[in-house]
A and B are shown apart, each in its own frame.
Chain A
Amino acid sequence: AQRVTQPEKLLSVFKGAPVELKCNYSYSGSPELFWYVQYSRQRLQLLLRHISRESIKGFTADLNKGETSFHLKKPFAQEEDSAMYYCALTNNAGNMLTFGGGTRLMVKP
C-alpha cells in the first residue's frame, strides 16, 4: 500500500527565514511525487513535481529514494507563501494521487 506522511500540521516562520516542509512516503514501486498548494479561498493547484526538477516560486523539492522523502524547501519565505501544502504520490498505474495530511504554512511579517 502507498502512503504519504507529512509530520507537521502547522509550520510557522518569519518572513525571510528558510522553510522546509517535510514529506515521507512509502511505496514499493517507483513513485512520482508532487507538491500541491492551496492558497486561501483558491483551488488546489500543482506547485511542482519531482520529474520536472523545477523551481517554482522559489520552492524546490528533491526526491531522496534512500530516505523515501520529498521535502519542500525555500531559502527565504515570503508572506504570500502562507497556504496549505500537500505532498502527493502517484502509483505506476497513474490512476490516483495519494495525499499526505497537509501542512499549513504561516509566514509572519
Chain B
Amino acid sequence: GAGVSQSPSNKVTEKGKDVELRCDPISGHTALYWYRQSLGQGLEFLIYFQGNSAPDKSGLPSDRFSAERTGGSVSTLTIQRTQQEDSAVYLCASSLGRTNHNQPQHFGDGTRLSIL
C-alpha cells in the first residue's frame, strides 16, 4: 500500500509569507509526527498526534508554528510569517501506535522549504 505522502515536495516562498505543509499518513495509523531537518542538523521533533488526544506540541520552536490533524488522518503544518531560519526539510511520520509499543515510525519524503 501507499506510504506516508507529503505535499508539496518543494516550496519556495518569500520571507514573511505563511506556508502550509500537508501530510497523508498510512491508512490506519493513529500516531502522526512532524520533524524538521535543518541544514547540517539532525532531525528535530516538532509535534505529535495520537488518536483523539490533545497533541504534544512541546517541540514547536515558536508560536508561528501550528499543526492540525483533521478526522484523525491528514495533518497540516502551518508556519506563519516565515523567517529564513525556517528553511529546512519538514518530515512527517506515522505509526500504528506509540513508538514504544514496538510500532516503528514510517517517514514520508519530506517537504523542502526554502525561505528567500
Interface residues of A (CB under 8 A from B): 32, 34, 36, 43-46, 49, 51-52, 86, 88, 90-102
Shortest Cβ gap from B94 to chain A (Å): 12
Determine whether the beta carbon of B109 is less than 8 Å from that of A49: no
CA distance A101 to B102 in the complex (A): 23
Q: Which residues of B contact A45 (CB under 8 A)?
A: 106-107
Contact B42 A91 (CB under 8 A): no
Kindly state the interface size class of chain B when it binds its partner: 20 to 34
Residues of B near any A CB (own CB < 8 A)? 3, 33, 35, 41-45, 48, 50, 56, 59, 91, 93, 97-110
- Which residue of the partner chain, among A34, A98, A102, contacts B45 with CB atoms under 8 Å? A98
Apart from A94-B97, A95-B98, list 14 A-B contacts with CB within 8 A.
A43-B109, A45-B107, A46-B106, A49-B102, A91-B100, A93-B100, A95-B48, A96-B48, A96-B59, A97-B45, A97-B99, A97-B105, A99-B42, A101-B42
